[in-house]
Amino acid sequence: MSSVPRPPTPPRREVSPLELFYDLVFVFAVSQLSHHLLEHLTARGAAETVVLLAAVFGTWTFTSYEATLLDVDRAVTRWMIVVVMGLGLFMNAEIPNAFGDHAPAFVVPLLLIQFLAVAVTAAAARTETQREHFRRTLVWISFSAPLWIVGAAVAPGPRLGWWAAAALVDVTGTWLAHPLPGRTLSSREFAFDADHMLERLRLLFIILLGETVLTAGRAMADAPVDAPSVLATAGVFVALVCLWAAYFGGGEDVVRTVLATTPDPVRALRLGVNSVYPVLAALVALAVGSELAIAHPTGHGSTELALLLFGGPALYLVTTAWYFRTTAGGAWAERLAGAAVLVVVGVAAVRLPPLASVALLDVVLLTTAAVLVRAHRGLTRSLRRVPPA
């Protein structure tokens, strides 16, 4: 019999309409992040986008964890989600201007979301272990908040350094589960509805892919209706379907089997949440690269385009390889091989027209997705016979 504590409320895999409504705010956020990177296609612009991404997705992480722990049917949870959603709308609207003159308009909603969501959970969670965890989270946020505030007060030049330090504190806290000296908490002691949170992640991934489809559609609407633009759009769509298949082509069965058989499902799920940060960065990069390729399919290649078109999917495969390696122990070498091929082809694609680059991207991703579908089936059968340690 498993020693994992049962959730304090009956498990519910289904995601509520309010949670889906909340997630739609992040469709807007991904669009804003992509727009910021497209308008600042430099090393600094990429760094700014990464910092903003860490801040924005951190708010999704906090609120989603809290909603799962508190039970969305409780009035306190519903009010928290609605308030955070409103604040998130204001925060995401200021993403393009966060490193300009509207820094406070971005930071104030960000900090209000962090402190509100965590404080509510620290007070209203159903078990002392949960309340203790979120009290520790408040301590971590208290260390990053001054960095966000100082960054908003200084000039745009040094702001990146202050905010990068703040984002590093927030992400490190999330990745390490907010430890404090002398106060440890084993995830095996943490009662949590892992199936529900997995469903949140599953639907978020679909939403993120959907936003990339919308980006391709907008680029197509602005491009001339000619054969190169149509082919480039079709190629981008094929690439997105391949990324979808790289997980939903049996990978979801692997993850569910891991959660059902591992003695520590909370750890497996926490690693999944951690992996979404680079996955989101990968999809933003691919969205921007796709927009550039569709706008100028027969133009000249460039290092920036190759990094976006091939580096984004490569980052996605490397990240998911790490996750599958640490949780399931399989279907990771195939991902690393696909990422390595993308890197090699990406170097060669610097001198190719964008349309040719998209075609090469499709060839690599189609092959990788086909290999992974088969690998997932074998891994699922293996896990059901011998659960991971």
pLDDT digits (tens, 9 = 90+) for 94-125: 999 999 989 999 999 999 999 988 888 888 77
Q: What is the mean pLDDT of the chain?
A: 87
Give the range with max mean pLDDT: 226-235, 252-261, 370-379. 370-379
Place of tokens 């308009």: 105
Q: pLDDT by residue (tens digit) across 343-385?
A: 999 999 999 999 999 999 999 999 999 999 999 999 999 988 8
The CB-side HSE value for 142 (13 A sphere, CA atoms) comes to 7
In the prediction, which pLDDT does 7 show?
Answer: 45
Q: What is the pLDDT of residue 129?
A: 76
Burial of 371 (0-12, 13-18, 19+ CB in 10 A): middle
Residue 318 has pLDDT above 50, yes or no: yes
Q: 84-98, 124-138, 311-325, 331-345 — which is least confidently predicted?
A: 124-138
Query: Any idea what the Cα angle at residue 293 is, between residues 290 and 295, rounded to 5°?
Result: 105
Q: How many residues does the chain have?
A: 389
Question: What pLDDT score does 368 carry?
Answer: 97
Are 351 and 301 in contact, with CB atoms under 8 Å apart? Answer: yes
Confirm if 277 and 54 have CB atoms less than 8 A apart.
Answer: yes
Q: Each residue of 284-315: pLDDT tens digit?
A: 999 999 999 998 999 888 999 999 999 999 99
CA angle in degrees (0–180, nearest 5) for 265-268-272: 135
DSSP, residue by residue, 330-357: -S-HHHHHHHHHHHHHHHHGGGS-HHHH
* Angle, alpha carbons 211-216-217 (nearest 5°): 90
Task: Please tell me the distance from the alpha carbon of residue 34 to that of residue 316, in angstroms, as a whole number.
Answer: 16
* pLDDT tier, 73 (very low <50, low <70, confident <90, very high otherwise): confident
Question: What percentage of the chain reaches a pLDDT higher than 70?
Answer: 93
The span from the CA of 369 to the CA of 349, in Å, is: 21
According to DSSP, the residues that pair with 183 across neighbouring strands are: 180
Is pLDDT at 6 greater than 70 in this prediction?
no
111-115, 141-145, 192-196, 321-325, range with the lowest pLDDT: 192-196
Least confident of 104-118, 264-278, 313-327: 264-278
Query: What are the tokens at 333?
Result: 């070498």
Which tens digit of pLDDT belongs to each residue from 169-186?
999 988 888 888 866 665
Three-class SS of residue 278? Answer: helix
E strands, the chain, are none
Report domain extents, the chain.
Answer: 17-189, 194-385
User: Please, which residues bridge with residue 180 across strands?
Assistant: 183
Phi, psi of 99, rounded to the nearest 5 degrees: -95, 15
Give the Cα separation of 185 and 19 in Å (integer).
28
User: Over the Cα atoms of the chain, what is R_g?
Assistant: 21
Q: Which residue has the higher pLDDT, 368 or 132?
A: 368
**Does the structure show a pLDDT above 50 at 330?**
yes
Interatomic CA distance for residues 180 and 129, integer angstroms: 14
pLDDT at residue 46 greater than cutoff 80: yes
Residues 86 and 25 sit within 8 Å (Cβ to Cβ)? no
- So what's the pLDDT on residue 33? 93
Q: pLDDT: is 231 or 62 the higher one? A: 231
Asked if 166 and 181 touch (Cβ cutoff 8 Å), the reply is no
Report the pLDDT value the prediction gives residue 192, as an integer from 0 to 100: 65
Least confident of 121-125, 247-251, 268-272, 354-358: 121-125
What is the pLDDT at residue 188? 56
Instruction: State the pLDDT confidence band at 21, using cuts at 50, 70 and 90.
Output: confident
* pLDDT > 90: percent of the chain: 54
Measured in whole angstroms, the distance separating CA 361 from the mean position of its chain's CA atoms is 22
- Cα–Cα distances (Å) from 18 to 51, 64, 124, 200, in that order, read 28, 11, 19, 12
Confidence class for position 191, pLDDT limits 50, 70, 90: low
The two tokens of residue 167 are: 């984002």
Please give the average per-residue pLDDT across 136-158, as a whole number.
Answer: 93
Lowest mean pLDDT among 123-132, 254-263, 294-303: 123-132
Residue 3 DSSP one-character state: -
CA–CA–CA angle 153, 99, 103 (5° rounding)? 45
Q: How confident is the model at residue 2 (pLDDT cuts 50, 70, 90)?
A: very low
Output the pLDDT for position 8: 47
